[in-house]
Chain A
C-alpha cells in the first residue's frame, strides 16, 4: 500500500542550515548534509531544502550543497527558494535534486511550471502555494506571505495541476508558526479536487496534528511537511510513525531507526 510521507524541511542560508537540530549529536550543527543523514536514518521519507540566501554567492553555495546532498543521501529530496527561471531549476536538478519547488515566480509567470515540466517531467515540479484567508477567500500570497496576489488558492492549484505540476505544497499563512494544527478543511478540499499529491505545511505543533492532516477523515493530505517540531525534537520521526500506524494510517517503518537522540 502506498504510504503517507513525512518530510522535514531545512532552511539553508549561504550553504548552511539556519536552525540546527538540538536533539541529535551532530559534529557540526550547521551542516545540512549531516542533518539530512540524521533525518534519513530516523525514517524521513523525503527532505526539502529551502534556500533563503539573499546573495549570488549564497545561491552558488546552495547549488554546491545540493551536489553534496545528492552524493550522500539515498532518499528523494526537493529544493526550492528563489527559483524563477527554467535555468535556475536546471542547475539544481543537474546538481542532483529530485524535485524543485516553485512559488512566487510561478504566480507571476505560470508558464514557468509548464516550461520546467515539459523539459524535466511533471514528477519533479512541486508548486508551493502560500495563502491566507481574507474575508473568507483563500488568497495566494508571494514573497513569503508578505504580498497578496490576485489568485485564489483552489483555482490556482487546479491551474498549476493543468500546467504540469507534479505535487502541490500548500502552506496556510494563517496556521504557519502557530503550532495549533494544520488547515485540515483546506487540505481535504485540495485532495478532493486534485489528481496529484498534496503536501501539507504550516501549523504542526505535535504528532496529533500530523495524524489529523494525513487521516482520510481529516485533511487527507498525501504528505506532511514540518520544520521546528522535528528540529527541536518535540516530535521524533520513529515515534510519529508508530503513532500514525496505530491510527491506521499507512507509513513506511524503518527498521533500526533510533528513537533517542
Chain B
C-alpha cells in the first residue's frame, strides 16, 4: 500500500461492502483496499480523453424501446420455483421479517 494515487481506505471498502451486502473479513478488506486502489489508478487513464462532446453508449446495436403486447402468459411451474427457495410454506417463499 501507499504508492497508489487513489487511496481507498479499509473503512471505505467496508462501507461499500456493506452497501453490496457482503460481509468481509479484515484480511479481505485489506486486500480489496489494495486491489481497488490499483485498479482505480489503472482506469484513471480515461481522464486523458476529452469526452465533453461525446454521447454515452448504453445499447450498442442502437435498439430503442423494444415493446411487446401486454398479455398474460400462463406458467404452470410455480411450485418448482418455490421449491428452489431455502424455506417455504405452502406455496409461498418464507423470508425473515423486513422490519
A binds B: no
- Give B contacts to A, CB under 8 Å: none
- Give A contacts to B, CB under 8 Å: none
